[in-house]
Amino acid sequence: MTRMLHDHIAALLEKEMREDGRKPLEYRKPVKVEYDISPKSAEGSARVTIGDTIVVAGIKVEVGEPFPDTPSEGNIMVNVELTPLSNPEFELGPPGIEAIELARVVDRALREGSALDTKRLCMKEGEKVWTIIIDLYPINDAGNLFDACSLAAVAALKSAVFPTYDKKTEKIDYQKKTKTPLPLKNLPLEVTVIKINNKFILDPTTEEWKALDARLTTGFLENGTLCAMQKGGPHALTSEDISNMIDIAAEQVAKLRKVL
């Protein structure tokens, strides 16, 4: 079935066609971001829609210990929960390989792109720091979760503020939020380009995702600087492929950034 699907999609792409009528390098519509969708249960939140794909992101802020190799820096954690609610192929239980990889790809751009000034998250060097937890929940997986999760994570970080912290009792009052935003430095966004035979496409549907030969997710800063890359898929990419895919992603990321 996968080979038949691959050949069917590849045959359409040879004619510059896709099943949903889009051009190869075209995102589904709408592409939109909604902020503060869960103000009572998270310090920051956002919902991203790309076509029929919907991802919700929530930010939780906790106090914890720094890692031994970065005693003066706060921590960032990215979690992804893939449930049958969004796609019947996902199963309940501990995170599977798809969720782990998705979380790592989103985390890599945020970390390597210095999305947060982690030194400003330090409360007491070597002892106490703020930990920023980014939880990503696909509500409907109609394809391209990588780009949707990246966009949702950045949007939620933009909307997040610190909760009230009592230094005497060392407790957080999550019911009382401050007006202090998180120390954002950059807004790294990712674009995923997939290759099927000798064709490149953007914003794959779930069927196109199953048929891919290779994929490249690339993260960029606001000034266009490349900050992260992750290759996936069963087939290799040539240096020319990678160069072309980066160029495609660099052009498209500016369009995604506008919705922020």
What is the CATH number for 129? 3.30.230.70
Mean of the pLDDT values across residues 179-205?
Answer: 97
239 Cβ contact partners less than 8 Å away, ≥ 6 residues apart: none
Residue range 182-208: mean pLDDT, rounded: 97
- E-strand spans in 126-260? 128-140, 161-166, 171-181, 189-196, 199-202, 214-220, 226-232
Strand segments (E) across 81-141: 122-124, 128-140
Instruction: Give the pLDDT mean for 87-104.
Output: 94
The amino acid sitting at 84 is: P
Phi-psi region of 211 (alpha: psi -120 to 50; beta: other; left: phi over 0): alpha
Which amino acid, one-letter code, is at 100? Answer: I
Domain that holds residue 60: 2-258
Contacts of 3 (CB under 8 A, 6+ apart): none
| 22-36 pLDDT per residue, tens | 999 999 999 999 999
Give this prediction's pTM: 0.96
pLDDT for the residue 4: 87
Domain count, the chain: 1
